[in-house]
Amino acid sequence: MPIQGIDLLKIGLMETSKALPVIGPAFSTIEAVYQKVEAQRVQAALGEILQRLKNLEEELKKDRTVQILVYTAEQVRSDLLAEAKAPAYGIVVANLINHESPQDDVVMILDSLRKLVPEDINVLKKFNLGGKLMENRQIAELAGHTPYTNPFGDQDQLQKGMAIVFPSLMRLQGLGLLFVAKPQSTAGPFPPKIAVLGEYLKDFAHLTPIGQRLVIALS
């Protein structure tokens, strides 16, 4: 069994306390705070999940549901951003339970969700337009360009949008949730030119199968 974070901290403090005796008595306080922080993360996520489950009392009697909740708690306790992402955990896990998702999907989706920052989740939500899954979207549109309502766009706003969206796209690509590729055709409206990252505006972000399943679970 791998050593948990609190155990590593304990080992480090025990070694340090040999040279700095004052640290020894302080460890019990640190351990209590550590455990409280983890408990708050788990409580925040589970609160969001439970209020979204259909037939809550019946669901909690199912081994499968309990297993998913236990796995979720393990993911959340090591997620530094878990409280900020609690609504996303609530939506995703409730959907996985309510729709009887395969166990492999549960593991892959929750593992991916733990690694995301809130900005990444916001980008993924852009692949759901009015309840319809979009398997790919042009990066310019993800950054806020609206070619059919404002074809010339606002270059400053587009620059700011790209500064937010592009790092998330790179993280999502690294996690295997999507990939960025050049367009197959040069036809269609073109986004305005911007100084930084402008070469990527015409490219498309394509969801992978697991990325599609995560977007569906987020809806």
- Domain tally for the chain? 2
**Within 10 A of 34 (CB to CB), how many other CB atoms are there?**
15
| Model confidence, pTM | 0.79
123 and 106, same domain (yes or no):
no
The CA R_g of the chain, rounded to the nearest whole Å, is 22
CB distance 41 to 114 below 8 Å: no
CA 129 to chain centre: 19
- Positive or negative, the CA dihedral 40, 45, 48, 51 is negative
Co-location of 111 and 182 in the same domain: no
Domain boundary among 71, 87, 115: 115
Q: Are residues 13 and 98 in the same domain?
A: yes
Q: What SS3 class is residue 48?
A: helix
Give the count of beta carbons closer than 10 Å to the beta carbon of residue 106: 20
Q: Are residues 78 and 126 in the same domain?
A: no
pLDDT at 11: 53
Q: Is the domain of 175 the same as that of 100?
A: no
**In degrees rounded to 5, what are phi and psi of residue 138?**
-70, 140
134 and 101 in a common domain: no
The CATH number of the domain holding residue 147 is 1.10.10
Domain boundary among 115, 149, 176: 115
Domain boundary among 60, 87, 115: 115
The answer to whether residues 170 and 206 belong to one domain is yes
Residue ranges in the chain modelled with pLDDT below 50: 20
Per-residue pLDDT tens digits for 109-147:
999 999 999 999 999 999 999 889 999 999 888 988 776
Regarding whether 158 and 138 lie in a shared domain, the answer is yes
In 38-123, which ranges are E strands? none
Are residues 162 and 176 located together in one domain of the fold?
A: yes
Say what the pLDDT of residue 167 is.
93
Q: Do 130 and 91 sit in the same domain of this protein?
A: no
Digit-coded pLDDT (tens) for 53-76: 888 888 888 889 889 888 998 899
User: Which has the closest alpha carbon to 65: 96, 94, 97?
Assistant: 97
Domain check: are 149 and 108 in the same one?
no
Give residue 110's domain range. 5-115
Q: Are both 124 and 58 inside the same structural domain?
A: no
Please tell me the predicted confidence (pLDDT) of residue 113.
95
